[in-house]
């Protein structure tokens, strides 16, 4: 019926109707057209404040992912960390179950964070969602650095931090892809993966630099216990 009506219309009206249909189709698919902006294939200046923010600051969500993944491989080999949390003695060493629990709970938390990040992003918005997941990650880190003898607290802290890492792994590239100019959208989203590898590198370098420190400063920045040195007895 619509096609028949369009054929019966005069030439000018038919052309205007076709243009209106095409414009409506663009509006439904491109957010720039919704704002009344015409599509442009002109090069986009990379040294724009908004682009630098999205590339260097928003991508820190990927840096957090990489850093938290890379640091634990150094922690479980540090003498002070082993003396405090290892379940095997003479010499101190982690059993498979305890080591796997401490290391793997981050990934379990990440999985849960990924699954619930989408609904939260739709409910709160992208920016508020990113802030929320960063706060959750901070809480997980605080739980980890506040422990002195309990390996369970360290594992729970990694689980909570994993929630934040998983949420950020969804929210960061989502926000970048939805707000970046289309000419450089792929390049900006790829900075997320670049920052993941950068975070792993930084974590390895910090572990290398602090490995020989005998106090808990080798694996955390602040140590709130009354004693010093390593513990000889079981954790």
23 falls within a domain: no
For 1, which DSSP code?
Answer: -
The pLDDT of residue 119: 93
List the domain range (segments joined by +) for residue 138.
Answer: 56-218
For 7, 79, 223, 228, the CA distances from 232, given in Å and listed in that order, are 91, 11, 18, 12
Q: What is the pLDDT of residues 53-96, one digit of tens each?
A: 777 888 888 898 899 888 888 888 888 888 888 888 788 888 88
1 falls within a domain: no
Mean pLDDT on 203-228 = 71
Q: What is the pLDDT of residues 5-57, one digit of tens each?
A: 445 445 544 454 555 554 544 444 444 444 444 555 666 666 677 777 777 88
26 falls within a domain: no
Work out the percent of the chain whose per-residue pLDDT is above 70. 74
Mean pLDDT on 218-222 = 65
235 falls within a domain: no
168 vs 3, more confident: 168
Q: Using 50, 70 and 90 to split pLDDT, how confident is the model at 157?
A: very high
66 falls within a domain: yes
Provide the CATH number for the domain around residue 151: 1.20.1250.20
DSSP per-residue letters across 85-148: H-SBTTTTB--HHHHHHHHHHHHHHHHHHHHHHHHHHHHH-HHHHHHHHHHHHHHHHHHHHT-S
CA angle 131, 132, 135 (to 5 degrees): 85
56 vs 97, more confident: 97
Q: How many domains does the chain have?
A: 1
35 falls within a domain: no
pTM strictly above 0.75: no
156 falls within a domain: yes
């Amino acid at each position: 019926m619509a096609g028949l009506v369009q054929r019966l219309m005069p030439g000018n009206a038919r052309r205007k109707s076709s243009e209106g249909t095409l414009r409506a189709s663009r509006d439904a698919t491109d957010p720039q057209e919704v704002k009344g902006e015409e599509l442009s294939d002109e090069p986009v200046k990379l040294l724009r404040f908004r682009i630098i923010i999205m590339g260097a600051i928003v991508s820190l969500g990927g840096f957090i992912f990489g850093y938290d993944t890379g640091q634990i491989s150094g922690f479980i080999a540090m003498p002070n960390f082993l003396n405090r949390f290892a379940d095997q003695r003479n010499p101190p060493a982690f059993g498979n179950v305890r080591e796997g629990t401490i290391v793997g709970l981050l990934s379990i938390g990440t999985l849960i964070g990924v699954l619930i990040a989408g609904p939260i992003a739709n409910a709160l918005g992208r920016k508020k969602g990113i802030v929320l997941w960063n706060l959750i990650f901070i809480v997980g880190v605080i739980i980890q650095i506040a422990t002195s003898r309990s390996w369970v607290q360290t594992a729970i802290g990694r689980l909570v931090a994993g929630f934040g890492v998983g949420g950020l792994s969804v929210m960061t590239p989502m926000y970048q892809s939805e707000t970046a100019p289309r000419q450089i959208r792929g390049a900006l989203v790829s900075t997320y993966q670049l920052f993941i590898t950068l975070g792993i590198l930084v974590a390895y370098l910090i572990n290398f630099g602090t490995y020989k420190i005998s106090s808990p400063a080798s694996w955390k920045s602040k140590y709130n216990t009354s004693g010093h040195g390593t513990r000889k007895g079981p954790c």
